[in-house]
């Protein structure tokens, strides 16, 4: 034991994790361009994104063009028009650079916020996180969504709660860019406003002061301006103004009503992967198409009025973010299905408890005063209470959850119970992650 301790003391974890990060960059490149090229996996949501891009190029207008957010469809359309058709070289390149930047941005953000030398350990941990690697091999919007969420976190780590008018304009712009790919971050805005007011109230700022509302006004101006322009772009190319898609009503219905397999008036059927995995496949038919968002919101509210207890069922959706289901579509892969099951168990047993510990220490200490990080955490946990929560939804926030889990376990190691030094605990956690995750992920991608 003493001999092992001496070996750990000699290891430079920053240097080791940096080289592992570089290896991870190579691994993702191999995965995206050779092992799992996304043009070979066009089904379900991926096929819908491609069809929407083709409709854009052909000038075919349909209400379903703006059923989901349209950010990825524009990238695919540019790819199809100006590059080799159906090879998606531009899309894959964008996914690659986003995938290798997300870990660095996350590590740098946590290093800035918590004043610890953890940039490269965090970068190495996230770059081998297979759920994010896997999404880079599908024509889906999770990678861009996670990129902009992590970019908001990074900016927040430099703002240090100093929100000028210009800074908030930039924050609103990046928040809007994230929303045009996926709505996962939707509740960041109300969380930010409430956290910002609470923080300023705690330092003696008057709630009704101009100084308090000027940054909020700036971010609202930025978001409103962006979506007025973006809605106009959608109107021009897709025929409909909807800047954020019309899928919200369907998602709200699936979250609040008992029957999960939905069939609309045009014969289209829809079921969330999480409900399919849980065996919740009872059908319900409607007299309206899925894009009639208002209709489905009203139907969902009726479900809640008929059975108010369903409000509390939302906590099941919150739990499904971390355990009980597997990330779709990765779990369907013949090559990677076993790896997905293994890593989900690892997440449930080690990452989730570590993140809970992190939350306990985070909201007790001074670090919670970082408004952006607090708002992202709150927003990520509120949305599944309103809509549907699952592992796929959570994955885009893992550049926040996984570093948080690391800090949680470091705190336990530093406690009087174990009395380990911080750098020793970082090395120990990284060694466990290397054995249980990095080796299996690398083996499966390169050798299976």
What gap in Å lies between CA 225 and CA 423, rounded to an integer?
Answer: 46
- Residue 36 is predicted with a pLDDT of 93
Mean pLDDT value of segment 140-158: 94
pLDDT above 60: residue 368 = no
Taking residues 9-30, report their average pLDDT.
90
**What's residue 398's pLDDT?**
94
Rounded CA-CA distance 371/417 in Å is 31
| Unique residue bearing structure tokens 């750990």 | 8
Confidence of residue 323 (pLDDT cuts 50, 70, 90): confident
270: tokens are 């829809």
Would the pLDDT of 264 be above 80? yes
Residue 437 has a pLDDT of 94
Mean pLDDT check: name the lowest of 184-188, 215-219, 388-392. Answer: 388-392
Q: Binning pLDDT at 50, 70 and 90, where does residue 366 land?
A: low
pLDDT over 60 (residue 114)? yes
pLDDT at residue number 147: 97
Computed over its alpha carbons, how large is the radius of gyration of the chain?
Answer: 22
352: pLDDT strictly greater than 60: yes
* Angle of the 248-256 helix axis to the 293-306 helix axis, nearest 10: 20
pLDDT digits (tens, 9 = 90+) for 193-217: 998 888 877 655 666 666 778 889 9
Per-residue pLDDT of 37-71, as tens digits, reads 999 999 888 998 999 999 999 988 888 888 889 99
Looking at residue 181, its pLDDT comes to 94
Q: What is the per-residue pLDDT for 279?
A: 82
Percent over 70 (pLDDT), the chain: 94
pLDDT of residue 200: 76
What confidence score (pLDDT) does residue 416 get? 63
Q: Domain limits of the chain? A: 2-244+322-446
Predicted local distance difference test score (pLDDT) of residue 422? 80
pLDDT tens digit sequence for 277-300: 888 888 999 999 999 999 999 999
Would you say residue 149 has pLDDT above 90?
yes
pLDDT band with cut points at 50, 70 and 90 for residue 136: very high
Separation of CA 170 from chain center: 20
6 pLDDT band, cuts 50/70/90, is low
Q: Which of 153-162, 306-315, 398-407 has the lowest mean pLDDT?
A: 306-315
Which pLDDT score is estimated for 204? 59
Determine the Cα–Cα distance for residues 226 and 178; give it in Å rounded to an integer: 12
> What does the alpha-carbon distance between residue 35 and residue 317 come to, in Å, rounded to a whole number?
33
User: Edge-to-edge strand order for the sheet containing 269-270?
Assistant: 269-270, 261-263, 283-285
**103 pLDDT higher than 60:** yes
Least confident of 2-16, 24-38, 56-70, 383-397: 2-16
Mean pLDDT, range 67-83, rounded to an integer: 93
With a cut of 80, say whether residue 389 has pLDDT above it.
no
Kindly tell me if the per-residue pLDDT of 9 is higher than 70. no
Whether the pLDDT of residue 11 is over 90: the answer is no
- Portion of the chain with pLDDT greater than 90, in percent: 51
In the chain, the largest separation of any two C-alpha atoms, in whole Å, equals: 71
Alpha carbon distance 172, 176 (integer Å): 6
| pLDDT at 207 (0 to 100) | 63
At residue 365, the pLDDT reads: 63
């Amino acid at each position: 034991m003493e001999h092992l301790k001496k070996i750990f003391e000699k290891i430079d974890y920053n240097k080791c994790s940096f080289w592992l990060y570089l290896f991870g960059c190579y691994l993702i490149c191999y995965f995206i361009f050779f092992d799992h090229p996304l043009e070979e996996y066009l089904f379900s949501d991926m096929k819908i994104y491609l069809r929407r891009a083709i409709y854009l190029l052909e000038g075919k207008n349909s209400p379903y063009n703006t059923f989901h957010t349209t950010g990825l469809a524009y990238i695919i359309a540019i790819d199809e028009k100006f590059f080799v058709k159906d090879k998606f070289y531009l899309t894959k390149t964008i996914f690659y650079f986003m995938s290798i930047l997300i870990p660095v941005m996350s590590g740098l953000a946590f290093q800035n916020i918590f004043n610890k030398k953890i940039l490269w350990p965090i970068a190495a941990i996230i770059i081998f996180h297979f759920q994010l690697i896997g999404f880079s091999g599908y024509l889906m919007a999770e990678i861009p969504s996670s990129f902009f969420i992590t970019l908001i976190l990074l900016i927040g780590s430099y703002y240090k709660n100093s929100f000028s008018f210009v800074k908030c304009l930039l924050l609103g712009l990046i928040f809007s860019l994230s929303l045009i790919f996926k709505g996962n971050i939707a509740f960041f805005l109300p969380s930010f406003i409430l956290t910002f007011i609470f923080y300023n109230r705690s330092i003696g700022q008057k709630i009704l002061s101009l100084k308090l509302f000027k940054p909020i006004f700036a971010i609202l101006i930025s978001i409103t301006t962006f979506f007025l322009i973006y809605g106009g772009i959608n109107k021009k190319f897709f025929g409909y103004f909807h800047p954020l898609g019309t899928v919200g009503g369907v998602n709200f219905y699936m979250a609040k009503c008992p029957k999960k397999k939905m069939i609309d008036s045009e014969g289209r059927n829809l079921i969330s992967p999480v409900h399919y995995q849980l065996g919740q496949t009872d059908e319900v038919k409607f007299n309206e198409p899925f894009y009639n968002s208002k209709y489905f919101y009203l139907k969902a509210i009726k479900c809640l009025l008929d059975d108010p207890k369903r409000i509390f069922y939302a906590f099941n959706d919150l739990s499904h973010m971390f355990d009980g289901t597997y990330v779709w579509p990765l779990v369907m892969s013949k090559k990677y299905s076993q790896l997905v099951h293994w890593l989900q168990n690892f997440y449930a047993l080690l990452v989730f408890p570590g993140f809970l510990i992190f939350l306990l220490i985070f909201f007790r200490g001074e670090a919670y005063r970082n408004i952006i990080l607090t708002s992202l955490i709150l927003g990520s946990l509120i949305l599944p209470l309103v809509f549907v929560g699952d592992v796929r939804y959570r994955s885009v926030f893992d550049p926040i959850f996984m570093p948080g889990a690391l800090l949680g376990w470091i705190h336990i190691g530093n406690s009087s119970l174990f009395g380990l030094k911080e750098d020793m605990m970082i090395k120990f956690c990284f060694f466990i992650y290397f054995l249980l995750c990095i080796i299996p992920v690398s083996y499966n991608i390169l050798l299976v």
